[in-house]
């Protein structure tokens, strides 16, 4: 049987995740059967009751795991909840509403590693509210907010009607400058999401992201690798230490972690990241001995696991 399209709906507390899930369920085709898995931080399954109260049991199956987030305290309950949810029906799509206080990047890792034959992870939708975006220190200092933004493929400013035009513009400018770039940055109200956003994809390939471009005396090239590709951490960091590089930004899936690499004139930083869509790198160099084809071979040589399909 084909793998079930699966989407995470994530965001901070109070951003409107449940409202967005309900809106998606109202917009789905009546012929489709959808399943919803709700991860609630509290011990009472309130969101599950809201969803079940507004949808038809014939078209939607809902289960919840309360008492913590899938990435830590309730992680052992995920296989149990998924088993019973998928046993109830063979859904055409699975939506997972994550806890507002969790770091759900590890949930994506679990789905890809343990359920690749049953679930096809598609775009993660992250919701942000104007009040969270403008809160002092939220963007720079709140690790949960930062992780949820990093892992979102589609970034949505919800409750945009409560924001001034200046805040909406500032959000769009900030979001459009994020690396790696989002598949979509959009503003909405009342949690209204277009179901087509759930299937947006970067169509990753192990090929150049764009051709060699002159930039003064510099050249630039980028590559995108599939999320299934796994890099040897030490090997890829050695390749990226090439003194010919004047600037680079990259995200790499390694054996036990995802890393963000940022190299500027002042040095190189290597930090964990919640981004999970693909591995990618953009490199600027004054000159390239052997050319970009040689660089591509070096990057490919850092792969530990190469997908066969």
**DSSP letters spanning 194-246:** -GGGGG------BEEEEEEEEETTEEEEEEEE-TT-EE-HHHHHHHHT-TTEE
Q: Is residue 99 helix, strand or coil?
A: coil
Alpha-carbon span 13 to 129, nearest angstrom: 10
Distance (Å, rounded) from C-alpha 228 to C-alpha 212? 26
The answer to whether the CB of 223 falls within 8 A of the CB of 207 is yes
User: First CA to last CA across the chain, in angstroms?
Assistant: 17
- CB distance 252 to 266 below 8 Å: no
Q: Report pLDDT for 201.
A: 85
pLDDT the model gives residue 45: 44
pLDDT at 98: 87
Distance in angstroms (rounded) separating the CA atoms of residues 260 and 278: 12
Task: Give bridge partners of residue 125 from the DSSP assignment.
Answer: 9, 154
The answer to whether 62 touches 52, Cβ cutoff 8 Å, is: yes
Residue 44: per-residue pLDDT? 37
Distance CA 254, CA 261 (A): 12
CATH architecture of 207-305: 2-Layer Sandwich (3.30)
Collapsing DSSP to helix, strand or coil, 12 comes out as coil
Cα distance between residue 210 and residue 253, in whole Å: 21
pLDDT of residue 77: 74
Q: Can you give the pLDDT at residue 73?
A: 46
Task: List phi, psi (to 5°) of 215.
Answer: -140, 80
What pLDDT sits at residue 280? 94
Q: How many contiguous H segments (helices) and E segments (strands) does the chain have?
A: 10, 16
What pLDDT, on a 0 to 100 scale, did the predictor assign at position 1?
A: 73
Q: Tell me the pTM.
A: 0.85
Give me the average pLDDT of each 10-residue run along the chain (309 residues): 92 90 89 87 45 58 66 65 83 89 81 90 96 91 90 96 96 94 95 95 60 56 91 96 92 95 92 95 84 90 70
* Matching CATH number, 4-199, of 3.40.50.300, 3.40.50.2300, 3.40.1160.10, 3.90.79.10: 3.40.50.300
Contact 79, 63 (CB under 8 A): no
Torsion of CA 286, 290, 292, 297, to 10 degrees: -140
Domain ranges of the chain: 4-199, 207-305
Same fold, 4-199 and 207-305: no
The CA–CA distances, whole Å, from 283 to 54, 131, 145, 191 equal 50, 36, 28, 38
């Amino acid at each position: 049987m084909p793998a079930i399209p699966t989407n995470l709906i994530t965001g901070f507390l109070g951003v409107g995740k449940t409202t967005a899930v309900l809106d998606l369920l109202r917009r789905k085709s009546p012929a489709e059967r959808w399943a919803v898995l709700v991860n609630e931080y509290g011990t009472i399954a309130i969101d599950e009751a809201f969803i079940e109260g507004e949808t038809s049991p014939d078209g939607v199956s809902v289960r919840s795991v309360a008492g913590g987030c899938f990435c830590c305290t309730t992680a052992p309950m995920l296989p149990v909840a998924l088993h019973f949810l998928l046993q109830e029906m063979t859904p055409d799509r699975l939506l997972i509403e994550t806890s507002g206080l969790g770091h759900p990047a590890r949930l994506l890792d679990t789905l890809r590693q343990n359920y690749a034959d049953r679930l096809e992870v598609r775009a993660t939708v992250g919701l942000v509210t104007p009040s969270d975006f403008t809160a002092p220190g939220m963007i720079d200092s709140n690790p949960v907010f930062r992780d949820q933004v990093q892992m979102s493929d589609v970034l949505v400013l919800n409750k945009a009607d409560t924001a001034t035009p200046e805040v909406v513009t500032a959000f769009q400018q900030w979001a459009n400058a994020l690396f790696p770039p989002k598949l979509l940055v959009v503003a909405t109200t009342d949690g209204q999401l277009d179901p087509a956003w759930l299937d947006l994809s970067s169509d990753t390939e192990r090929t150049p992201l764009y051709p060699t471009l002159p930039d003064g005396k510099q050249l630039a090239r980028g590559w995108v690798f599939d999320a299934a590709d796994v890099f040897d951490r030490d090997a890829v960091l050695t390749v990226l230490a090439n003194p010919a590089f004047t600037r680079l930004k990259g995200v790499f899936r390694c054996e036990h972690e995802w890393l963000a690499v940022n190299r500027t004139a002042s040095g190189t930083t290597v930090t964990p990241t919640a981004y999970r869509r693909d591995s990618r790198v953009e490199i600027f160099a004054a000159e390239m001995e052997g050319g970009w084809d040689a660089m591509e071979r070096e990057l490919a040589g850092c792969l530990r696991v190469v997908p066969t399909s």
